[in-house]
Amino acid sequence: MLDFNHQPKFHEQLGSLIDAALVQERNQQSPRRYLGASRLGVACERALQYEYLCTLVDPGREIPGRILRIFEVGHALEDLAIRWLRLAGFDLYTQKSSGGQFGFSVAGSRIQGHVDGVLNGGPAELGMTYPALWECKTMNDKSWRDTVKHGISKSKPVYAAQMAVYQAYMEAAIPGISRNPALFTAINKDTQEIWFEQVAFDGGLAQRMSDRAVRVICASEAGELLPRHTTTPTHVECKFCPWQDRCWGKT
């Protein structure tokens, strides 16, 4: 039963102000007019089309301020990871000498990717080879433990696809980066535990993701909708999709 007499408490009022400000800030940002390499591994190609076309999400499915706060905490932890790795002896670069992130742009800038960092050296006792891609993610405890147990390729296929695409397309600018295993870093946001995993380049995965990107772009520009990933709107992938209603004709 709704309580119409409920008066927001102080902490609720202040939290709401912060969340509203974060949402307003995000809404003022220009939409991304390209297909991001970090998203190519998602399950549904139709969802990728909606992203690429900057399609408005279903009413009520906008990203709330609480999630935007989670994103910002992740960025802050990534900055800490950079500091920790450098203190440990890694030669880690996160900016090009000319400024800006490392990254790539292909297909007339319709496919782009931005890299967390590039390792050009590190502690000799680890036996790593360089240059190497560095990718950092933050996770809650459950997700982090699943990654530790199963490894990135099985537990986080979207991240694995992202790294493979990065290694493939960054090779022209940084020779050798696809030859050497990438360093994947996962920080547990609940316990601050860190998981490190060396990830060898998967050329087959990179090619499949590149082909997928072309398929999504060509279908989108031709006005054709690609098949859904599932056959029912109650599938978990659909239930949490921002375009569920649009996709299934409910709007």
Q: How many CA atoms lie within 13 A of 119 on its CB side?
A: 26
Q: What pLDDT shows up at residue 99?
A: 82
Q: What pLDDT shows up at residue 121?
A: 98
Sequence-distant (6+) residues with CB within 8 A of 197 are: 151, 152, 183, 184, 186
CA dihedral of 146, 119, 116, 238, whole degrees rounded to 10:
-30
Check residue 102 and report its DSSP letter: E
Q: What pLDDT shows up at residue 201?
A: 97
Q: What pLDDT shows up at residue 100?
A: 85
pLDDT in tens, 23-52: 999 999 888 889 999 999 999 999 999 999
Q: What pLDDT shows up at residue 159?
A: 97
Please state, for a pLDDT cut of 90, what percent of the chain lies above it. 86
* Residue 91 main-chain phi, psi, to 5 deg: -90, 90
pLDDT in tens, 121-156: 999 999 999 999 999 999 999 999 999 999 999 999
Q: What pLDDT shows up at residue 4?
A: 58
Residue 239: is its pLDDT beyond 80?
yes
* Residue 15 main-chain phi, psi, to 5 deg: -60, -40
Instruction: Extract the tokens encoding 160.
Output: 């694995």
What whole-number distance in Å separates Cα of residue 152 and Cα of residue 173?
25
Please state, for a pLDDT cut of 70, what percent of the chain lies above it. 97
pLDDT in tens, 74-127: 999 999 999 999 999 999 999 988 888 899 999 999 999 999 999 999 999 999
Per-residue pLDDT band for 3 (boundaries 50, 70, 90) equals low
Q: What pLDDT shows up at residue 7?
A: 80
Place of tokens 């022209």: 172
Domains and CATH numbers, the chain: 63-210 (3.90.320.10)
Q: Is 176 exposed, middle or buried (0-12, 13-18, 19+ CB in 10 A)?
A: exposed
Closest CA to 54 of 75, 33, 83: 33
| Model confidence, pTM | 0.90
Terminal CA-CA length for the chain: 28
Q: How confident is the prediction for the chain on average, in pLDDT? A: 93
Residue 181: is its pLDDT beyond 70?
yes
pLDDT in tens, 219-229: 999 999 999 99
Residue 241: is its pLDDT beyond 70?
yes
